[in-house]
Structure 1
């Protein structure tokens, strides 16, 4: 980098650092200057900005509000990608008897992995189990170009919020589905956008024909290993999905989770073995885009159904 360019980049970084540490309004940040510099600097400048803002030692010790950090990161991501994800979610960890109204760390982690590995989803049909607020799926729909995306959950309030978040992000939502493959889509749909459906899916009562109708190429789930009963239900669903493929190629499956209770994680891998489902740890991604706790131990398992 030429000396004058280095000075200009330093001033830009300093401007972002001062405004972020002061929690200034996002409109006051020099976004236009950033876009101009990104044409020449690429992703290195973004990483430098992350170090000066959300990963600044003061912010690590005294973090800003989650809402402010997420809004900032959404705007930052939008500059190189031309897109962003907007979410409405609960401010309470548990609300109306469910944890699905907020975004959990493994959902952020899986979204980052997907953005770095878009080929795993491009032109494919994706079924997400336990979509919650929908951040992971929205990121995949916008950044990885799937053919179709099926959000699913069982709680009615979660599904209501999920539909709202899908529409909030400019995606066309088709009729609710228990068998989305039967819905050909609207003629007015933007062909560059995936076919998006929402399915109410209770893992304990869903039938094999209902699961077979989804015909997924990829199955994902994030932060769903929170108790033994849920683990057992999830493995039953995965085993059923594996058995109902018939002559179709078995789907890829990626399960992301935060290791809170090692015994629960061991139960998951043990039950996978009993169900005849092999697995391997997915390679870790390089870039951190979202403000989850760095000391959280997270992992993504790729399952061979």
Structure 2
């Protein structure tokens, strides 16, 4: 950041103002509940890189930790978020980082007698950054490695909702981490892959022989290919897994295409949301389940966020009409990724 730049001058003014702030203005919240200051920065890291809502951050736990060593705790959070290498490679949106840093500054000044220069330097860098229509979200695997995704800032854009990650995809990814045997050594077809979160997690952890990402929207397919490459998976040959991206139009899919893919395991997340596409989705599932020439009968797993019970029940009724049965998978999954767990998500296995 240049010494002549407006953000730099703004930050310097803020620093001067805060250095003049009398200690008597600092507020201390007394709370006898203890907290592990090492856990707080790690939790902030998970939530920050997934661009979770500010209200979901453990602010109360942070304020308890700040009573003992405010600058050290805030600096640890800063190093795990805005100053972390992941943030340089896959930065959350400019607006999000501004809000996050503003909240940290607000909390820090309640407990510290001196400002933390690193905080204001980070804010100055963000103030001078240009807001984009895309942002990056990163989800940390149990190993600590990130799955970085380029997504649109807007939930609906370019005529599709497929350019962002939805809760059911995260739930399905967590379920896959607990059931790698369903994917290991198999050919997996994912319907409606979106930006690719679930498939990338499966490829990175569950060791399928071949993984076929699919979608029908051209903008989604382009973003999907970018995210696959971003995470070290390429169609030219990825370590340990053959990765393909296919355009699969549920309405006009060809039997030859399905036979060529030859999937052993078929998964989908958040594909049951529009009554107009339920019919072609069920017909596709029926065709996949009766495909010949495969060594084992394919298994089909679908994770759905139940936003409209009427639409979801319509899907189940159409499955029954097509001669397909389903089993609701009731086993809970271990929380790995941060997302809204209040929403109703159901996993089913579809079979003949």
With the length of structure 2 as denominator, give the TM-score of the two structures.
Answer: 0.63
Q: Deviations over 1:16-36 (max 9, x none)?
A: 468875786866249xxxxxx
2:185 alignment counterpart: 123
Please state how far the C-alpha of 1:213 moved relative to its aligned partner: 1.2
What pairs with 1:80-91 in structure 2 (closer than 5 Å)?
A: 80-81=142-143, 83-91=145-153
Give ranges in structure 1 of 5+ residues lacking alignment.
1-8, 31-66, 175-185
Quote the Cα distance in structure 1 between the aligned partners of 2:44 and 2:242. Answer: 42
Q: How does 1:294-305 map to 2 (within 5 A)?
A: 294-305=341-352
- Range 160-169 or range 240-249, more displaced: 240-249
Q: Tell me the equivalent position of 2:39.
A: 13
Task: Tell me which of 20, 25, 28 is aligned to 2:79.
Answer: 28
SS of equivalent residue, structure 1 residue 126: strand
Gap runs ≥5 in structure 2: 1-34, 46-56, 63-73, 82-133
Match of residue 199 from structure 1: 246
CA displacement at 1:158 relative to structure 2: 0.3
- Which residue of 1 is the match for residue 14 of structure 2? none
Q: What is the aligned partner in structure 2 of residue 137 from structure 1? A: 199
Q: Relative to structure 1, is the Cα distance of residues 14 and 303 closer, same or farther in structure 2, using a 3 angstrom cutoff?
A: closer
Q: How does 1:1-305 map onto structure 2 within 5 Å?
A: 10-13=36-39, 16=42, 21=59, 28-29=79-80, 71=138, 73-74=139-140, 77=141, 80-81=142-143, 83-174=145-236, 190=239, 192=240, 194-246=241-293, 248-305=295-352
Mapped contact 2:135–2:151 kept (Cα < 8 A): no
Contact 1:220–1:253 under 8 Å retained in 2: yes
Greater RCO between the two (CA within 8 Å, min separation 6)?
1
Cα contact 2:42–2:77 (8 A) shared by 1: no
SS in 1 for 2:276: helix
Please, what is the CA RMSD of the aligned residues? 2.8
In 2: Cα distance, 1:127 partner to 1:17 partner: 33
Q: How many residues align?
A: 242
The normalised TM-score by structure 1 is 0.72
Return closer, same or farther for 1:68/1:288 CA change in 2, 3 Å cut-off.
farther
Task: Classify 1:91/1:25 alpha carbon distance in 2 versus 1 (closer, same or farther; 3 Å).
Answer: farther
CA distance in 2, matches of 1:303, 1:130: 17
Alpha-carbon spacing, 1:219–1:274, altered in 2? closer, same or farther (3 Å): same
Structure 1 runs (4+) deviating above 3 angstroms are 14-27, 67-71
- Give the match's secondary structure for 2:147: coil
Residues 24 and 138 of structure 1, relative CA distance in 2, 3 Å threshold: farther
Return the alpha-carbon distance in structure 1 between the equivalents of residues 336 and 298 of structure 2.
27
Using the alignment, how far apart are the partners of 1:271 and 1:144 within structure 2? Answer: 31
Between structure 1 and structure 2, the one with the greater Rg is 2
Q: 1:300, 1:266 → 2: CA distance?
A: 14
| CA separation of 1:127 and 1:289: change in aligned 2, threshold 3 A | same
CA distance in 2, matches of 1:262, 1:251: 27
* Shift in alpha-carbon separation, 1:24–1:115, aligned structure 2, 3 A: farther
Q: Give the C-alpha shift of residue 68 in structure 1.
A: 11
Separation of aligned partners in 2, 1:291 and 1:13: 15
Change (3 A) 1:294 1:270: same
Structure 1 counterpart SS, 2:212: strand
